[in-house]
Amino acid sequence: MRSHTKSAAAFAEARRYIPGGVNSPVRAFRGVGGEPFFVERAEGAHIWDVDGNELIDYVGTWGPAILGHAPKVVRDAITDAASRGVSFGIPNPYEIEMARTICAWVPSIEKVRMVNSGT
């Protein structure tokens, strides 16, 4: 039998600050009974919860982890990009590159604006 003591404690703590203890109602496990487990780390197709249980991740973050969790090529690209700054709030060449890439990948998109306000 696997231990879930730390996940249960994390869930109790989360309920103090997050409605229902999770940021998505589906993660509350109410529809299937039980309580959610809390992930501590992930690598490749595997995740480890805060209790040290190793699981295969069949969800893959609903798509973004298609290469698996923490692949070296992605970590290296993030480290390289972050070494130049993580947020500017000022026009920069990287936003042009991203907009150009989106327009090239989706031909029906002629222009794109990236915002953080939902507008």
Instruction: Please give the Cα distance from 29 to 14 (Å, whole number).
Output: 14
pLDDT digits (tens, 9 = 90+) for 47-87: 999 999 999 998 888 777 888 999 999 999 999 999 999 88
- The amino acid sitting at 13 is E
- Gap between the terminal Cα atoms of the chain: 48
pTM of the predicted model as reported, rounded to 2 decimal places? 0.69
Write down the residue that tokens 């990236």 correspond to: 114
H/E stretch holding 40 reads strand 39-43
Who has greater pLDDT, 9 or 67?
A: 9
Task: Report domain extents, the chain.
Answer: 5-105
**pLDDT for the residue 24:** 77
Interval 82-101: pLDDT, tens: 999 988 888 898 999 999 99
Fold of 5-105: Aspartate Aminotransferase, domain 1 (3.90.1150)
Nearest Cα to Cα of residue 89 among 111, 115, 66, 119: 115
Q: Token digits for 1? A: 């039998």
Two structure tokens written together for 104: 């090239």
